Structure 1
Amino acid sequence: MDTKAPLLPNTEARMPRRPISKRFSRFHAAAFTIILGLFWLARTWDCHHDHQHEGGDDGWATKVPLEVHIMSKCPDARDCLEMLVVPVMANISDKVDFRLSFIGETTDEDDGVQCMHGQTECLGDILELCAASEYPDPKLYLGFTMCMEQNYEQIPKRTLIEDCALEHGLEFDKLNDCMSKEDGAYGMGLLRDSVQRSADLNVSTSCTVRLNDEIRCLYDNGEFVDCSSGSKPKDLIRDIQKLYDEAKGWSE
């Protein structure tokens, strides 16, 4: 993939609030929502970023952790989701504790994030995190994310967001509220937490698939690599089913 170069070369000019910088801070988040026509209206409810990991008591303890780390404007992320992740989730989502995380680099001086493909990628990441926060069912937010990724060059055009939201049963206004909450700082916090998680797990390749808290497969430069147990959906489904059966046996 095109992430082999460091996200933040030491030679990169530090211009915190210039539009040409790849840094995306809470100030940029607010500015971009205005530019894109995502006019915000304050709401009284919160969109908690951990909703995607809340669950009922019915079999929750046996679900298998499956986490996918991507960048929203990365063609490898699109292909990885399309060829592996989405087909797997379509078949076995009820046995998976799914999480979508993002890759970038946090910046200390303005509590922001730098994204490999610029500020528009940061905004795309926030959109997809807001979808997961507002619609914690992976069938909804993963479908929306896949729709966005299939047209990643257009991220974050409003027409793309509206079309993908409509196609997958999401309300554009709810995504808008989440993104613009606290003048963009809330969505920025979601992204910063997600990027920090990927960094803490030493994940830097988009796309990285982690199963049961271990790296299961990478998709890099247009091909699957380091997939010792196979890179086809049936291979990952098999591994998930095995882990699920084992966990279920232990919990009984």
Structure 2
Amino acid sequence: MEKSPAHFQSNPYDCGTAAPGTTAFTTRRDRFISRFFRRALTAICICLAFYVILSRCPGVVPTHPNTNSPNDGRYPGKDDHTVPTGSSKRVPLEAHIMSKCPDAQDCLQQLIVPAMERINDKVDFRLSFIGSVSNKTSEVECKHGPTECIGDMLILCASHLPFPPNSSSLPSSPSDSSLTSSSSSSNQRMPTVRWLGFANCLISSYERIPERTFVQNCALEHGIDFDALNKCASQQEDYDEGNDDGSDDGNKDTPLSGIALLRKSALRSQRLGVTTSCTVRLDEKVWCVRDGGEWKDCVRNGEGIKVSVLAEEVERLYKERN
């Protein structure tokens, strides 16, 4: 099977040589400073020991908010620990985009992200990507070139990574199951709040995709393991990732493959007849389209571009289902 042109090199984030080491010079002043810091460190250790002892006594040490929760304060009140897949009680919300498209940037910033701050716990949200897919080969062509394909794959990989991440158990061989798309109770997928934030970070400066430092910073900001992300996006094998309706996660014994995820996503957009980035669909119907820097075909005589209108409709549909 021919390889997709999205893979123009084996690893888009191949690290270069490490920075050379520096030479240390020891002076009398340096030795004095060293003694000072050793004493300070000893004092800190003693204080820390007292803190640990006191923390075991109920009511002595105050508790603090968990800053490492999936919410991370970005969506107040929406602590999305798991990503529901195919939930019959949540409302389907989907945005079809291209990662290096200005309309996708506007769509996320003006409508999707603000709305998700209000309705994150009531929707099954997904980003789908638009591309040309061959029926005879594994080729996927992106309108804005191979770098856009990489951006698409990075976002798809982020949404399929396991959560919580376990860096110590990342796979050392392709057969390791810790990077599969399984979403069992012990290995949930990345919370929407995290991967959508990562996607918004990338697309906010889409011209920098796939610059390594830029992608690393976006991943760090949203608590996504960059090494796992890179491994998925760099995977050369076109693994089958199951049906595009989410009913089957494919072969759970194979690692995540960015090109397979992109192919499946592009096929979904193609099957639904979506060709414009950005097309927003709510409850399987077109809600609004962002094209050429303008909002078009929005429901309710154009009122659909308002965050409040989208949120209210989601609330209504959610109540009907519950």
Q: TM bucket by the smaller chain?
A: 0.7 to 0.9
Residues matched between the structures, number: 209
CA contact (8 A) 1:27 1:184 kept: no
After TM superposition, give the deviation of residue 36 of structure 1 in Å.
Answer: 3.4
Distance 2:298 2:5 in 1: 40
Q: CA 1:210–1:152 in 2, change beyond 3 Å: closer, same or farther?
A: same
CA contact (8 A) 1:52 1:132 kept: no
Partner amino acid, structure 1, of 2:85: E
After TM superposition, give the deviation of residue 180 of structure 1 in Å.
Answer: 2.4
SS of residue paired to 1:153:
helix
Partner of 2:267: 196
Partner of 2:191: 137
CA contact (8 A) 2:13 2:230 kept: no
After TM superposition, give the deviation of residue 27 of structure 1 in Å.
Answer: 6.3
Output the aligned Cα RMSD: 2.1
- The equivalent position to 2:285 in structure 1, one of 204, 214, 219, is 214
Partner amino acid, structure 1, of 2:224: L
Matching of residue 32 in structure 1 with residue 106 in structure 2: no
Partner amino acid, structure 2, of 1:82: Q
CA contact (8 A) 1:52 1:133 kept: no
Which is further off, 111-120 or 132-141? 132-141
Q: CA 1:88–1:35 in 2, change beyond 3 Å: closer, same or farther?
A: closer
Distance 2:288 2:5 in 1: 36
Matching of residue 73 in structure 1 with residue 147 in structure 2: no
After TM superposition, give the deviation of residue 75 of structure 1 in Å.
Answer: 0.4
- The equivalent position to 2:315 in structure 1, one of 241, 247, 250, is 241
TM-score (normalised: structure 2): 0.61
CA contact (8 A) 1:68 1:207 kept: yes
After TM superposition, give the deviation of residue 189 of structure 1 in Å.
Answer: 0.8
SS of residue paired to 2:276:
coil
CA contact (8 A) 1:132 1:138 kept: yes
Partner of 1:54: 85
Distance 2:225 2:280 in 1: 28
Query: 1:126-185: CA deviations, max 9, x gaps?
Result: 001001111531100000000000110011111111010011111101101212234576
Matching of residue 169 in structure 1 with residue 200 in structure 2: no
Partner of 1:44: none
Q: Which one scores higher on RCO, CA 8 angstroms, separation ≥ 6? A: 1
Q: CA 1:184–1:98 in 2, change beyond 3 Å: closer, same or farther?
A: same
Q: CA 1:37–1:77 in 2, change beyond 3 Å: closer, same or farther?
A: same
Partner of 2:128: 101
Q: CA 1:191–1:52 in 2, change beyond 3 Å: closer, same or farther?
A: farther
Percent of residue pairs identical: 45
Between Structure 1 and Structure 2, which shows a larger proportion of helix residues? 1
CA contact (8 A) 1:126 1:188 kept: yes
Q: CA 1:236–1:38 in 2, change beyond 3 Å: closer, same or farther?
A: farther
Partner amino acid, structure 1, of 2:225: E
Partner amino acid, structure 1, of 2:214: L
Partner of 2:233: 179
SS of residue paired to 1:100:
strand
SS of residue paired to 1:37:
coil
Partner of 1:128: 155
SS of residue paired to 2:309:
helix
Give structure 1 stretches of 5+ with no counterpart.
1-16, 18-24, 40-50
Partner of 2:244: none
Distance 2:90 2:207 in 1: 34
Q: CA 1:38–1:118 in 2, change beyond 3 Å: closer, same or farther?
A: farther
After TM superposition, give the deviation of residue 32 of structure 1 in Å.
Answer: 3.1
Distance 1:148 1:198 in 2: 21
Partner amino acid, structure 1, of 2:99: S
Distance 2:96 2:159 in 1: 14
CA contact (8 A) 1:38 1:180 kept: no
After TM superposition, give the deviation of residue 108 of structure 1 in Å.
Answer: 3.5
Distance 1:89 1:161 in 2: 23
Distance 1:190 1:96 in 2: 21
Q: CA 1:193–1:38 in 2, change beyond 3 Å: closer, same or farther?
A: farther
CA contact (8 A) 1:218 1:225 kept: yes
Give structure 2 stretches of 5+ with no counterpart.
17-81, 162-188, 240-256
Greater Rg over alpha carbons, structure: 2
